[in-house]
Chains A and B, each alone.
Chain A
Amino acid sequence: MKEQFENEMNLEFLSKSANEAFARIAVAAFVSQLDPTIEELADIKTAVSEAVTNCIIHGYENEIGIVKLHTKLSKDEVTIEITDNGKGIENIEIAKEPLYTTKPNLERSGMGFTIMESFMDTINIESIVDVGTKVTMSKKIRVPQMTTMP
């Protein structure tokens, strides 16, 4: 049986760097339905920006391909899948290490996966060389905080 979500959104766009801002703003606008805090929204935008940038500069290496973004909302959680059909990742464990980058000449810092991991609650990376990469991330929204009533 298919998992039930409250709402879903699909986006497909060309792997052009100008679309990095478009992608994170579109996801942020959609996620706003869950009434996230400003910080939660900023974290989600940053994680989406990292994943989409990776599709464009590593997956397609600036050739034109299609980036797919599937966003699902449940009552208190957002799940985002970002997919490319690019070159894929040979060793995911190594790729995830802080400061690891295959493109230091482009002034990449190798901090993308580290940021996605720390800004989201879960991240899962699936990749096949020459087939593509799918990154799935989720984050609980408005996790109840310990508050003291006035």
Chain B
Amino acid sequence: MSVEINLDQEFQSRIDAGERIEPKDWMPEKYRKTHIRQISQHAHSEIVGMLPEGNWITRAPTLRRKVGLLAKVQDEAGHGLYLYSAAETLGISRDEMEVQLLTGKAKYSSIFNYPTLSWADIGAIGWLVDGAAIINQVMLTRTSFGPYARAMVRICKEESFHQRQGYEIMLGLAKGTPEQKAMAQDALNRFWWPSLMMFGPRDADSPNTEQSVKWKIKRKTNDELRQQFVDITVPQADYLGLKMPDPAIKWNEERGHYDFGEIDWDEFWQVVKGNGPCNKERIAARTKARENGTWVREAALAHAAKNAERKLSTKVAS
């Protein structure tokens, strides 16, 4: 018991000294589990996040928009892979993580359970959803677990193009015909609140935050990050000439921040629990992908085994 306590203290002092933790280092079981949960959920979000956007690749209005969106969605696949790899260093397999996703044991960001109804939604997602993700991910480049931090550095380098392509789409629509501008406004209306929810429950309702901050998994709380996002985004909406779907948004001179209204937390928890507009569709799509890929994995492994055998026998023969 006292050995355990000493190890815990030693670990905490390494964290306090700003040291990074690497996969083979001793770590408290809870630190490991928290990371497996958080990194795998992050990976799932990148992968499931491809679905709402992939929905519009074939219908992008111009070739320029199409190559941009295609490259973005491909990046998200890469982000998922970087993150799965980071989680695997903690002793969970890729396969186990996928099963956790498909059986609902692991969550992913609730934002991807909303549908993409119009082309403007692709603009709103790049601008708001990637924008919110960037704020979280920039913080995570300094997280205490080495592989997670390194994955974040790589991801952050790629993200800024995502947000810019989204904002450019919004800009085009907002300066376009009245119908186009209305489309952009509608997308903002639908994606604003779910984007704010991406930062998670209020600090008061987030019992894990304290431990996460102590272990430097998070360096800012959900509410701090959410405020940062609002402060950055409101002027960007003004620039587009679009109206924020929240009458409570107002600059607060005293605080030096924008005030904003209360999130509909019932909706948030409903979507987290699986009752959002697209939860079932998303998991069904991932399940189908896994099933349809089975024969490919079987064939590739059989091919690899045969090739290895062949190489061995030619070596023996020569």
Partners in one complex: no
Q: Which residues from chain A sit less than 8 Å from chain B, CB to CB?
A: none
Q: Which residues from chain B sit less than 8 Å from chain A, CB to CB?
A: none
